[in-house]
Structure 1
Amino acid sequence: MARAVVVGVDSSTQSCKVELRASEDGELLGFGSAPHPHTVPPISEQDPAAWWEALVIALGHARRAAGDVDIVSIGIAGQCHGFVPLDAAGRVIRPAKLWNDTTAAPELAALVAEVGAAEFARSIGSVPTAAFTIAKIAWLRAHEPSSFARLRTVLLPHDYLAYRLTGRFATDRSDASGTGYFDPAENVYRIEHLQRIDPEVDWAPMLPEVLGPEGIAGTVLPEVAAELGIRAGARVSAGAGDQHASALGLGIRDGDLVCSFGTSGVVVTTTPAPLADESGIVSGTANLTGGFLPLVCTLNGAKVTDAFARILGVDHAELSRLALAAGASGPVLAAYLDGERTPNRPGAAGLLADITTEVTREEIARAAVEGVVFGLRVGVEGIDRLGIDTGGDVFAIGGGARSAATTQVLADALNREVRLVDAAEPVARGAAVQAAAVQHGATVGELGEAWRPPQLRAIEPRGAGFTAERYARYREAAAVTALDA
């Protein structure tokens, strides 16, 4: 007899990853992945059809690995902020602009100047950056008016995949809270912000329904089920933004910190109360359990260490070894290689400061790792300034967290123990938790706690003063990059 399974999907910038987990206890039964088209900011676009093709391939791999299974529900987590424009027939008008596309920076700056940072923070919990969907909608109107005239539906990446599965337009409050026109405290769209782009457009019918934590986007259409090789009628849960699903997959509790080292660098915690940061450092997004997920995202995550491994002509293991062998001296890196989102400097470039004729490969490697980690320490300090509890456990996740240097420097920078857990794909895991909650009629929070992954090991800091002087110098170097504006 086929075993009942739930599907967790992570549709990220780089790839689609799929986990099949046993519906009753979360046991991992199958995994599959498929790449997405490569992008290079400042222009970062993908054809949404490529996301669907990758999902079909990745699900096929996972099903073959799992054997005889019956898919009963599907949860989809996707890269946040991306703008998928559809016409009246539900067709994609143009390639989707992704979160790390910074070409809408001028349009976003004009919107913030008109609305005001304080009003944005009050009304949506965040001060939007060029990453946010609202900026990309404004860009479309300014640069492609004929495409804008055809616009009838605005979706996010995870919404689009759910639409392909179910034929229904729906989203969830976690992903909606990164658009720039949704208030997660009141759970309502702020149409007035879209009206700043074009007051003549009837915006409300263009926006998908925002579902709650245990919401159901729909069921898999018969023709789609046939394409995927699964039964029709499987439920599709509300879905999520990727970092929000990751927090659920890790089972984090109020006060815990998650530092994610992927394409971007992200630090999040979870809290029951809404927040508003007028400085724009912390986004007041919603989590998947009905509360809030203070979030700081940098554009420059593991791709920084990718770049320096290439420059030094080493693999990642050797880059890590070099970084850990460095002493306390040497250059520091303001790692804004492709512009930056936090702080909001879309036109910035990286700055390697304090190079001398005595510089070593070890010191360059360490600077690269620190450049990523210190960017997240700035984010932690931003969350702390809002009075939000961050005194719980610290978790490191993402591909970059496989580097011993990254996790050690993180422990040093925060002067706190850093934990690694047995969750290779926390985003897909969180999406599967949500799908299982829908199937069992449980709350997402209860199931997230029950499926909390076990800890692998912890990394201890090497002393409070190990990075203090270097971090102070990093802040000075990072401040210089403000001159790019």
Structure 2
Amino acid sequence: MYLGIDLGTSSVKLVLTDNDGLVLGVVSRNYSVNYVCQTSEQNPLDWFEGFNDCIKELSRTNDLKKVRALSFSGQMHGLVLVDKNGDIIRPAILWNDNRSVKENHYLNEVITKEKLIEYTENISFPGFTASKLLWVKNNEPDNFKKIYKVLLPKDYLAYKITGVYATDTTDASGTLYYDVKNKQWSKKMLDILGIKEEILPKVYEPETVIGYPLDDKYLSKNTKVSIGGADNAIGAVGTNTVLEDEVNLSLGTSGVVLSVSNNLPKDKVPGIHRFTHVGGRYYQMGVVLSATASLKWFQETILEDNYKKMDLIIDGPKNNIIFHPYLMGERGTINDVDAKGLFYGFDLSTKRDDLTKAVIEGISFSIKDCLLAMKLDKVKRFRIIGGGTKSESWIRLLATILNAPIETIKLNEGGAFGAAIVAMIADGKYKNYEDTSNLVTTDKIYYPIIEDVKYYIDKYNEYKLLYHKIK
């Protein structure tokens, strides 16, 4: 058996498979996020508690001593600081935390974006780990002095399970102190941040076995533990998006466009991330910070019972309302931490259904923003994962806006199933990621509504123009 662990923003999910990749069980546990103003934090111990609860539940119906290997998929960019005893120094600062605006400005404008791209292939964002680390250095000097190791979220969970400090190439890429081109910590960036390499974990490929479980109550002490990788990279493994020119879309808390390449792309678009992928490849990634997060906000604040009929609303009458989903600022093509969400074009005739449809369209337009910036407008077909795929009408609308077919997969467990695949490779069942294509099968294909394509091209252009008018 193999075990995949996905450490998400709102929950931890475990997928257990048999030796042939057939899913035997899926369990998850939710935990809270502490949102205050522009800050977003979690207690890392909640992740470990959630993992233990999931393991206990799986063990009721499965002999987990037979698990040959396990691996991880994890939310990116989070700052986890531990002292010399391995204890948490302060709550983890998450990927969607925007407190480090000053530090972000310093990195982009004083160090300069050009130098950052030279050192790391990327520019700074408040969500990246480097600016968070600078924020702690500038605002919590006592905590900064206590640092023994700087970890990423899934790496902390791996440490709690194995006692080993480690990270991987895909997750390290999102720190802004990792040299993506040369696949090593950037000495230039470490000097800028004022830290020594010794406080960083060793970097491995995702399938590398780093250790074995310390606790053998449920798992065997012979179970191989591989370090795994960043949620978007491992989610792409879960959809078999591992070869050049393959593109994966994700409709989760954030929206993600991920495109695989054998080499680092020549075009360096400042708002588009350039990270290492599995199998020695690379990927470009465009991010919409508030994808289903925008929908959740709208559901809880305005929508009430209308959420259940969302598909009917999406398929309903068109309207002129435009929504910008910039509820947490935005990365992507606008790269504006101060960007705000808005509704534009409503009047006394506007109904809740109209606003609902505008939210869905706005999120979809932002995904198109990323695709155009990444020059992916000629892609013939996309694969998609994430909570947003529960709405068939949304996928069909997105296919129309992108003017390309979109595939869903039969097992929509994304990062957790991708992590199970990584575990199989770590165990030697498969030699490489290309060989795992038989584990992923297409469920449905959604095609553009041809008669609506022109309408949404025009509305997208209005959406783009509006941001520049009000900025």
TM-score (norm 2): 0.94
Q: Whole-Å Cα distance in 1 between the matches of residues 16 and 59 of structure 2?
A: 7
Name the CA shift for 1:145/1:419 in 2 (closer, same or farther; >3 Å).
Answer: same
- Secondary structure of residue in 2 paired with 1:29: strand
> 1:269, 1:390 within 8 Å by CA — same for their partners in 2?
no
Determine if the alignment matches structure 1 residue 205 to structure 2 residue 198: yes
Q: Whole-Å Cα distance in 1 between the matches of residues 206 and 162 of structure 2?
A: 18
Name the CA shift for 1:350/1:248 in 2 (closer, same or farther; >3 Å).
Answer: same
User: Cα deviation per residue 1:318-340 (whole Å; 9 max; x = unaligned)?
Assistant: 1231122022x321001112222
Deviates more, 1:355-364 or 1:51-60: 355-364
* Aligned-residue RMSD, C-alpha: 1.8
How much has 1:156 moved relative to structure 2?
0.3
Q: Whole-Å Cα distance in 2 between the matches of residues 326 and 251 of structure 1?
A: 36
Q: Which amino acid aligns with 1:352?
A: F
Q: Whole-Å Cα distance in 1 between the matches of residues 137 and 378 of structure 2?
A: 40
Q: Whole-Å Cα distance in 1 between the matches of residues 225 and 463 of structure 2?
A: 45
Name the CA shift for 1:312/1:180 in 2 (closer, same or farther; >3 Å).
Answer: same
Deviates more, 1:374-383 or 1:346-355: 346-355
Query: Which residue does 1:283 correspond to in 2?
Result: 273
Out of 283, 287, 293, which is 1:293 matched to?
283
How much has 1:449 moved relative to structure 2?
2.1
- Secondary structure of residue in 1 paired with 2:467: helix
How much has 1:366 moved relative to structure 2?
1.2
Paired residues for 1:315-330 under 5 Å: 315-327=306-318, 329-330=319-320
Q: Which amino acid aligns with 1:127?
A: I
Out of 299, 305, 311, which is 2:295 matched to?
305
How much has 1:392 moved relative to structure 2?
4.6
User: Cα deviation per residue 1:78-135 (whole Å; 9 max; x = unaligned)?
Assistant: 1000011111222211011000011112111111112221222232222121111101
Query: Which residue does 1:434 correspond to in 2?
Result: 422
Q: Whole-Å Cα distance in 2 between the matches of residues 82 and 444 of structure 1?
A: 29
Determine if the alignment matches structure 1 residue 479 to structure 2 residue 468: yes
How much has 1:296 moved relative to structure 2?
1.1
Paired residues for 1:444-483 under 5 Å: 444-451=432-439, 453-463=440-450, 464-480=453-469, 483=471
Paired residues for 1:329-408 under 5 Å: 329-342=319-332, 343-384=334-375, 391-408=379-396
- Secondary structure of residue in 2 paired with 1:373: helix
> 2:65, 2:219 within 8 Å by CA — same for their partners in 1?
no
> 1:335, 1:368 within 8 Å by CA — same for their partners in 2?
yes
> 1:255, 1:390 within 8 Å by CA — same for their partners in 2?
no
Q: Which amino acid aligns with 1:81?
A: H
Determine if the alignment matches structure 1 residue 417 to structure 2 residue 405: yes
Query: Which residue does 1:35 correspond to in 2?
Result: 30
Determine if the alignment matches structure 1 residue 241 to structure 2 residue 268: no
Name the CA shift for 1:442/1:79 in 2 (closer, same or farther; >3 Å).
Answer: same
- Secondary structure of residue in 2 paired with 1:90: coil
Query: Which residue does 2:90 correspond to in 1?
Result: 94
Paired residues for 1:49-64 under 5 Å: 49-64=45-60
Paired residues for 1:112-131 under 5 Å: 112-131=108-127
Number of equivalenced pairs? 465
How much has 1:361 moved relative to structure 2?
3.0
Q: Which amino acid aligns with 1:123?
A: Y
Q: Which amino acid aligns with 1:243?
A: N
Query: Which residue does 1:165 correspond to in 2?
Result: 161
Deviates more, 1:317-326 or 1:373-382: 317-326
Q: Which amino acid aligns with 1:103?
A: R
> Kindly, what percent of the aligned residue pairs are identical?
27
Name the CA shift for 1:480/1:61 in 2 (closer, same or farther; >3 Å).
Answer: farther
Q: Whole-Å Cα distance in 2 between the matches of residues 320 and 477 of structure 1?
A: 27
> 2:380, 2:405 within 8 Å by CA — same for their partners in 1?
no
Out of 239, 264, 268, which is 1:274 matched to?
264
> 1:33, 1:58 within 8 Å by CA — same for their partners in 2?
yes
Name the CA shift for 1:277/1:141 in 2 (closer, same or farther; >3 Å).
Answer: farther
- Secondary structure of residue in 1 paired with 2:374: helix
Q: Which amino acid aligns with 2:174?
A: G
Deviates more, 1:269-278 or 1:117-126: 269-278
Structure 1 gap ranges (5+): none
Determine if the alignment matches structure 1 residue 214 to structure 2 residue 193: no
Structure 2 gap ranges (5+): none
Query: Which residue does 1:188 correspond to in 2?
Result: 184
- Secondary structure of residue in 2 paired with 1:88: coil
Name the CA shift for 1:316/1:124 in 2 (closer, same or farther; >3 Å).
Answer: same
> 2:371, 2:377 within 8 Å by CA — same for their partners in 1?
no
Paired residues for 1:75-114 under 5 Å: 75-114=71-110
- Secondary structure of residue in 2 paired with 1:465: helix
Q: Whole-Å Cα distance in 2 between the matches of residues 444 and 58 of structure 1?
A: 29
Q: Whole-Å Cα distance in 2 between the matches of residues 461 and 378 of structure 1?
A: 18
Q: Whole-Å Cα distance in 2 between the matches of residues 162 and 312 of structure 1?
A: 39
Q: Whole-Å Cα distance in 2 between the matches of residues 444 and 220 of structure 1?
A: 25
> 2:261, 2:281 within 8 Å by CA — same for their partners in 1?
yes
Q: Whole-Å Cα distance in 1 between the matches of residues 432 and 59 of structure 2?
A: 24
Q: Which amino acid aligns with 2:124?
A: P
Q: Whole-Å Cα distance in 2 between the matches of residues 238 and 480 of structure 1?
A: 46
Deviates more, 1:233-242 or 1:276-285: 276-285
Q: Which amino acid aligns with 2:342?
A: L
TM-score (norm 1): 0.92
> 2:39, 2:99 within 8 Å by CA — same for their partners in 1?
yes
> 1:255, 1:389 within 8 Å by CA — same for their partners in 2?
no
> 1:259, 1:394 within 8 Å by CA — same for their partners in 2?
yes
